[in-house]
Chain A
Amino acid sequence: MASEATAPPNSPKLPSSPPPVSEATPLLEMRGIAKAFPGVQALSDVSFTLHAGEIHALVGENGAGKSTLMNILTGAVPKDAGTILLRGQPVEITDPRRAIELGIAIIHQELTLIPHLTVAQNIYLGREPHGRLPGTVDWATLNRQAEDLLARLGLDLRPTTPVAELSIAQRQMVEVAKALSLNADIIAMDEPTSALSEREVETLFGFIRQLRRQGVGLIYISHRIAEVFALADRVTVLRDGRHVGTASVQDVDEAQIINWMVGRTLSELYPKTSRPQAEVVLKVEGLRRDNSLHDISFELHRGEILGLAGLVGAGRTHVVRALFGVDPVDGGTIWLEGRPVRITSPQEAIRLGIGLVPEDRKAQGLFLGMAVRQNITMTRLHDLSRLGVIDRRRQDGLARQYVEELRIRTPGLGQRVRALSGGNQQKVVIARWLTLNPKVLLLDEPTRGIDVGAKVEIYALMSELAARGVGILMISSELPEILGVCDRILVMRGGRLVGEFDRAEATQDAIMTLATGGTRS
């Protein structure tokens, strides 16, 4: 039904020979970019350049401004100041549509493909070749176009496969193929490896290198420094919304980049005052759950901060969910203060003195539309009420005590939690647990998405709690944080504990090697 004469519209331009990486007119130049959000200067005077055929890594801690910079580049967020030049020409990127027209694409961690549509339908969504009747789609031509594109990109995918059946890495490649079919020559990838296995990472890297050879300019956003050295030509570091440095990867080493990222000495960033005590507060032996947990055994001491490191999907969250009674386990024993306990529900865990600060505080940890007062006292309402009526004075007294103790910055107890900053929201979650005087606190990525200043306060708070005798189990994907805060570090991979380090002997490399499946040297 399709005539061969129908030329595929929008065939991507893939130059056969890579243009030289020169100091000539850059593909993209961002100058003096600034952006403020209410209460925080997200970016000030940031500059960034990208050449054709270059992989430019953009690194920095959470909250450093990487995402904001990319959101400005792709038109999702307007800038307050600064200019953007494409091939030397100033452009105004007013909205995401405009960015796409200009050939700028971003591949987010949350992919935008539609799972039950096919690869071809996803790539050419909105640009389907017309069939003979008005409004119809020429599916055969659509699939052939996609097949050509995938072949040119060296992707072994069938155009008719529903995206739902692809792996995450394959989906990212389809996203990239889609961007290229839109004539994108600037592609930003935001933490593309965070959910990938090691083999998938290799495949993706091979693909990215091929794109570089084809002259695409790639912005690679990551906080994994090893990846930067494996992949990038240049690296730019942002910290607290400022441009700290840009260098060719040959000219810098890991220590330099970390120094740029962190910008302060470890002792400043991680105020560590507590010492673990001898007494074991929580002991876990042989914990297992079908495919997610295998033979998990460890001890947590009173006053200890125990880190749980590993890649996303290694099973760290499963451990804390099991300990908190959210997920049932198939076997294993848990001792709390020397007594064997069975934890079959969160209620049971709370009764035993275990608290969980969940990974996604907005969805799982907070009542966003409710006031600070209610969020803090939620689990204590029983004690604060008489005949089912809440005693407001006592409720406010309890809430105020923790607002002061944790230095939660809020205009008042009646403030809705939604309006607080990420760091203060996290403190509210922690405050709720402290009202119960927990023996064990489970923290799942407690500093995700909060700015550096607030992080330091959370670290200080953790240290303070440990000094009071609380045993803390902390999951974190940020190795510097794990190294700085924890007394001991457990490493997980594939649902198993694969290693343990003392604070003194742990290094990023050693942890990463274990987490990704290497052996400890």
Chain B
Amino acid sequence: MTTDRGARFWRRPGAGAEGRRRFIPVFILVGLGAFIALLNPTFLTPSNLITVVLQASILSIVAIGQTYVILTAGIDLSVGSLVALGGALSAGLAVKAGLGTYPAILLTLLVGVGLGAVSGLLVVKGHIPPFVATLAMMAIARGLTLVYTQGRPIAGLGADFTFLGTGDILGIPMPVWIMAVVAVLAALLLTQTRFGLYVRAIGGGGEETVRLAGVRPGVIKLLVYMLSGFMATLGGVLLAARLWSAQPNAGIGLELDAIAAAVLGGASLFGGIGGVGGTLIGALLIGVLSNGMNLLEIPSYYQQVVKGMVFVLAVLLDFATRRRPTP
């Protein structure tokens, strides 16, 4: 069986709507890039483009975790706070507790998975709507971060730590490498494994069907929130590494960017539809937008407004095209 999936994808009768949709974000990305380049040629310089990708890489990692949650028709609002906690905890364990960079990071990622599990259990066992459960986790994780840091940045990271954020291999920054590895693994997990299939199955109203097929949807959902917690704290570690210090206020509002990246990349908030590739494009789109607005010297306060509006437009598109009208 060596079916050419690419060809089949194109020929599939009526792959139409959903098929063409996949390319909308790419067109928007190219269009937006061209528009910015026209107004400010600096945009297209290699160093600027690398900066854009570098800036988008941490968001991409967090947004990939978010995509998994959104595929199950859930949402994870705690990722911004978990980014802060990831940075603070890894930096603190490495610098203050002297654990060594890698044990510190590993332990931090485990904490991220654990807090994700708490959100997941609240959703699955506590039957709390995902946005409420993760809103609580958002406050808890931010609070824990402030408690742990006493509200002050943690600096003095070792060279092996900062290498993860500022170093490069073959001229490509480390966060981009890490993002690439994470993205490939996440994409394979989603498209090639049972777990990935069940994640996609649960979202589109298939929870009962999945249960009758002998799969426990609760376990799948729990794993998804754990994955999102992992990704968010990983993003936090890289952010601290890139800034040479952990900021207790890191990642404020990042949950919006992460959700926006997924939705801009074609994920549906109704669940079931979305993918890693689309989310990467979505994150890049947000990166280009931020970078472009900086190049065009748009004040940062206005940038917030623009981002919010872009997010709303993306969600409107999702709702308008994917919700079946009632007869």
Contacts and interface: CB of A to CB of B under 8 A. Distances in A.
Interface string B205-239: 11011101111000000000000000000000000
A125 B327 contact: no
Interface of A: 1-2, 96-97, 100, 112-117, 121, 125-128, 131, 133, 135-137, 139-141, 143-144, 160-162, 164-165, 313, 317-318
21 contacts: A97-B212, A114-B204, A114-B210, A116-B18, A116-B204, A116-B273, A117-B197, A117-B200, A117-B204, A125-B210, A128-B194, A135-B195, A136-B193, A137-B194, A137-B197, A140-B1, A143-B1, A160-B12, A165-B13, A317-B327, A318-B327
Interface string B186-198: 0000001111010
Nearest to A321: B327
B272 A114 contact: yes
B201 A161 contact: no
B240 to A, nearest CB: 32
Nearest to B272: A116
A165 B204 CA distance: 15
Given A160-B12, A165-B14, A112 B200 contact: no
Contacts of A161: 12-13
B8 interface: yes
Interface of B: 1, 3, 8, 12-14, 18, 192-195, 197, 200-201, 204-206, 208-210, 212-215, 272-273, 327
A131 B194 CA distance: 10
Given A113-B209, A114-B205, A140-B3, A128 B197 contact: yes
Nearest to B8: A160
A126 B213 contact: yes
Chain B at the A interface: SS class: helix
A140 B205 CA distance: 26
Closest 9 CB pairs of A and B: A126-B213, A140-B1, A114-B206, A125-B213, A112-B209, A126-B214, A135-B193, A116-B272, A165-B14
Contacts of A100: 212
A125 B193 contact: no
Contact of A136 (B1, B8, B192): B192
Contacts of B200: 116-117
A143 B200 CA distance: 18
Contact of A114 (B1, B12, B18, B201): B201
B213 A127 contact: yes
A162 B204 CA distance: 13
A306 B194 CA distance: 55
A2 B1 CA distance: 7
Contacts of B193: 135-137
Nearest to B273: A116
B1 A144 contact: yes
Contacts of B210: 114, 125-126
A126 B220 CA distance: 12
Contacts of A126: 210, 213-215
Contact of A131 (B14, B192, B273): B192
Nearest to A141: B1
